[in-house]
Structure 1
């Protein structure tokens, strides 16, 4: 038995909560994963896992051994990287998850610069507005925004998203232009709902110390930022979108027009997150630094003083 491999497999089984998910993540046959863990238990003369037909849970001895394995594997990884070129030229598969809108508008257009610096990394970028479980789905790190609900993740705040209210010229010609947030109650507004909870997000505005928060009726509600933008461009109604999207998709007024420009919403903080019980490998580290530099150089996403941040309209929360 390769004990280091067995330890890696055991850690992955605990992280994934089962042999099937662990085998998929490790790209090993399920029988091999099971055999390695059983061999480890035999060598240690200790039961590490409780197995039932429905789930796998860790024993008290297994939990203690799991923590030791994490430290040992991290030390081994550090030793390997310190004696190789990995720190200077990280390589291998890197699985990242990011919201659809942020990926399309910011991350993907900038990827050529990332690969110029790190040509040996094979990036798998999952783009969706669905919150993912990093451990269960084998994701190394994720770009998220809003208030992070998962306290088990390590988060680095890297930027801000600012929102504006706008509509297609065809809509404004037909229904008029709102001059106050309360006017939206008489307009056709396109709502955004959480793909996790199904809750429709409120519309929030502030000006001169006055704050307004509303739940608006709408003809349509969407939970994908690309579809949301498309609905606004089609003249279905008024939308709240990021100023980055507006600049990229009709900021000159030909396709979308800003309204309620003297009212603001609080910016949405953007984080890069990763599990705290995983060793931060060189490839994850350079990606986090690259995202932070990318946001810092973007004129609309630089970190600024932050008030309470609403989560409209992108599903970016943990």
Structure 2
């Protein structure tokens, strides 16, 4: 391997904590990766990595060398972009599934046309992701976020609505205010943060009201949550943009529109410990352009006293 390829491999090994994962990322076999790092250590005259059967971590000298390598590789990518006017390589992003399908994918052809040398690996999920360890460049997440060493760039807020199926409302009645919810049921959406069902949330002027109703069905995915509402299991609160067709065709009915749930903030996160590469920079800027403008338009349609936490 040439020196730059070896530097890239070394950075990947530290990021992933694994020779096997880093070798796969770089398109080489594990024996090739092992030999390349051994040759690098011999050339430098120092040990860069502590190896165990379960994990790989840098030595003190390896950590210092890693920081220099990250800066060198980012500067090289910047130089290449300055010379060619293009970004290249593989961009790994993890995005909320429904947001990816409804907002990102329709606009993605234009983004890829702008950057023909860039490949996007789009993961889907809402769980916590260790970006550096899992080799992910950035994630898009909803809700107020726990403190971390990630850089958080707000994209906007999602308007939320309370809905139920016509069949459910015919059985339980249509409440006129949150005070009328006795005897109703909700579908419990289990928080990935707490492991507990989230209460329903309503605003009355500047006041936020949380109500936990009986729930005979608990779910952990947004798509299952919405489908269970269509089947009449109970009340749910979800982003409006994802249910436009259901609301238009009557499969779901908005409930308590004068007491809307708090909107949910949406943000893109990326590691603060890494110099932002050109490919990540253009992708984050595009997210602000596409998702941010759409969410801001939705939010501007209706004033809110604040934003909810998940």
Q: TM-score, normalised by structure 2?
A: 0.90
- Corresponding position: 1:291 with 2:287: yes
Equivalent position to 1:113, from 89, 110, 113? 110
Equivalent position to 1:271, from 260, 264, 267? 267
The equivalences for 1:195-206 within 5 A come to 195=192, 198-206=195-203
Indicate the structure with greater helix content.
2
Instruction: Return the alpha-carbon distance in structure 1 between the equivalents of residues 48 and 252 of structure 2.
Output: 59
Offset of residue 196 of structure 1: 5.8
Matched-pair contact (CA < 8 Å) for 2:206–2:305: no
Q: Label 1:149 to 1:219 Cα distance change in 2 as closer, same or farther (>3 A).
A: same
Q: Which residue in 2 is equivalent to 1:27?
A: 27
Offset of residue 15 of structure 1: 0.9
SS in 1 for 2:57: strand
Q: Which runs of 5+ in 2 are unaligned?
A: none
Matched-pair contact (CA < 8 Å) for 2:104–2:291: no
Query: What is the count of residue pairs matched by the alignment?
Result: 307
The equivalences for 1:175-194 within 5 A come to 175-194=172-191
Does 229-238 or 104-113 show the bigger shift? 104-113
Instruction: Return the alpha-carbon distance in structure 2 between the equivalents of residues 305 and 135 of structure 1.
Output: 35
Offset of residue 31 of structure 1: 1.3
- Corresponding position: 1:309 with 2:308: yes
Q: Label 1:233 to 1:56 Cα distance change in 2 as closer, same or farther (>3 A).
A: same
Instruction: Return the alpha-carbon distance in structure 1 between the equivalents of residues 91 and 25 of structure 2.
Output: 12
Matched-pair contact (CA < 8 Å) for 2:262–2:304: no
SS in 1 for 2:134: coil
Matched-pair contact (CA < 8 Å) for 1:98–1:127: yes
Offset of residue 169 of structure 1: 1.1
- Corresponding position: 1:135 with 2:140: no
Q: Label 1:30 to 1:199 Cα distance change in 2 as closer, same or farther (>3 A).
A: farther
Q: Which residue in 1 is equivalent to 2:7?
A: 7
Q: Label 1:44 to 1:91 Cα distance change in 2 as closer, same or farther (>3 A).
A: closer
Q: Which residue in 2 is equivalent to 1:103?
A: 100
SS in 1 for 2:133: coil
Q: Which residue in 2 is equivalent to 1:209?
A: 206
- Corresponding position: 1:75 with 2:75: yes
Equivalent position to 2:258, from 235, 259, 262? 262
Matched-pair contact (CA < 8 Å) for 1:158–1:291: yes
Equivalent position to 1:155, from 152, 158, 176? 152
SS in 2 for 1:166: strand
* Structure 1 vs Structure 2 CA RMSD: 2.3
Q: Which runs of 5+ in 1 are unaligned?
A: 312-318
Offset of residue 302 of structure 1: 6.2
Matched-pair contact (CA < 8 Å) for 1:168–1:235: yes
Q: Which residue in 2 is equivalent to 1:252?
A: 248
Structure 1 runs of 4+ aligned residues shifted over 6 Å read: 302-306
Instruction: Return the alpha-carbon distance in structure 2 between the equivalents of residues 217 and 21 of structure 1.
Output: 45
Does 110-119 or 124-133 show the bigger shift? 110-119
- Corresponding position: 1:239 with 2:236: yes
Offset of residue 197 of structure 1: 5.0
SS in 1 for 2:162: strand
